[in-house]
């Protein structure tokens, strides 16, 4: 069905067809258990889960883990290479890079959660409304989604950030808006296919209220595709924030976002002090990698078509 196409126009972003086909009825085998089994089988998936856990832990315990205050400046020791006192070296005004990387995980999580959170929830609501009620609301909302999606993602994000003040939060709101159309389409597709299930018909025949049907029968089928795409978008949001910082419209200094560290000081001092770029670059890559691989793993675990052995 063409509703499944989640062709999103953002650099480097792609989404594989999200499984919306024959959805398993909610809960013969618990999803979590499925995931756990898959993680045990696929080492790459397990590694990605571990990395994500590391990211979350750094974000939560940053003030314990970081050896220095990430904002504390010591210009006398600027551009120091990695050494015992500063494992990742110091930056152009003498701040400890390791501490900034650790605190940066907070920004990255914030970045991901905000963008993906808003984008997912809003997309879900729109998709649910469209898919369940169809008719004119569906037509109108889908056209609006098409209109937003027709505008190239980076351009739209840039324009939105220029309108609001450039900072991390607004950059993420911009990305969320860019994500919404794609998400809504996926959810809509999932809802449409779920509606065709017999038990939904049965529930309607029995006179169950709409909300009840939505929550008990439709929603479970939607959560799997949404979670899969959300996990991939968590990684992409970090990349887009970095690109917006490169263009000067993302995070503001002195906030230690990995994207800002890489695009401004990392690039400016690339030859004199490569560690200023290597570490944020690695951090970004590993985070994005982890989210992408985890998304793959989720798909492996939950996609009924792939699970079929026969």
Q: Which of residues 171-190 bind another protein (CB under 8 A)?
A: none
292 scored as a contact of another protein (CB under 8 A): yes
77 scored as a contact of another protein (CB under 8 A): yes
CB of 56 to another protein, least distance (A): 18
284 scored as a contact of another protein (CB under 8 A): yes
Residue with Cβ nearer another protein (198 or 308): 308
82 scored as a contact of another protein (CB under 8 A): yes
Candidates 285, 254, 263, 241; CA nearest to 100 is 254
Residue with Cβ nearer another protein (178 or 200): 178
90 scored as a contact of another protein (CB under 8 A): yes
CB of 248 to another protein, least distance (A): 5
304 scored as a contact of another protein (CB under 8 A): no
18 scored as a contact of another protein (CB under 8 A): no
Residue with Cβ nearer another protein (51 or 227): 51
135 scored as a contact of another protein (CB under 8 A): no
CA atoms within 13 A on the CB side of 288: 17
38 scored as a contact of another protein (CB under 8 A): no
Interface segment toward another protein; rule CB under 8 A; list 30-38, 109-117, 207-215, 236-244:
236-244
Size of the site for another protein (CB under 8 A): 96
Q: Binders of another protein among 251-280, rule CB under 8 A?
A: 252-254, 259, 262-275, 277-278
């Amino acid at each position: 069905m063409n509703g499944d196409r989640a062709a999103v126009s953002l650099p480097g972003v792609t989404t594989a067809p999200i499984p919306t086909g024959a959805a398993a009825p909610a809960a013969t085998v618990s999803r979590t258990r499925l995931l756990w089994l898959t993680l045990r089988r696929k080492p790459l998936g397990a590694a990605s889960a571990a990395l994500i856990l590391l990211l979350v832990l750094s974000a939560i315990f940053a003030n314990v883990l970081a050896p220095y205050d990430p904002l504390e400046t010591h210009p006398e020791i600027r551009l120091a290479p990695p050494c015992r006192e500063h494992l990742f070296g110091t930056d152009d005004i003498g701040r400890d890079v390791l501490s900034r990387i650790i605190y940066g995980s907070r920004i990255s999580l914030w970045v991901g959660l905000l963008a993906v959170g808003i984008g997912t929830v809003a997309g879900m609501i729109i998709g649910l409304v469209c898919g369940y009620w169809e008719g004119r609301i569906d037509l109108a909302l889908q056209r609006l989604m098409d209109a937003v999606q027709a505008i190239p993602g980076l351009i739209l994000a840039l324009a939105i950030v220029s309108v609001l003040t450039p900072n991390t939060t607004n950059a993420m709101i911009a990305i969320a808006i860019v994500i919404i159309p794609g998400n809504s389409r996926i959810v809509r597709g999932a809802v449409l296919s779920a509606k065709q299930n017999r038990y939904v018909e049965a529930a309607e025949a029995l006179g169950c209220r709409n909300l009840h049907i939505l929550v008990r029968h439709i929603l479970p089928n939607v959560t799997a595709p949404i979670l899969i795409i959300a996990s991939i978008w968590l990684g992409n949001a970090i990349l887009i924030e970095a690109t917006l910082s490169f263009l000067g419209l993302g995070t503001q200094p002195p906030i230690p976002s990995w994207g800002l560290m890489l695009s401004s000081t990392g690039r400016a001092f690339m030859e004199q002090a490569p560690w200023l770029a290597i570490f944020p670059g690695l951090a970004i890559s590993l985070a994005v990698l982890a989210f992408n691989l985890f998304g793959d793993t989720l798909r492996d675990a939950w996609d009924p078509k792939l699970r079929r052995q026969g």
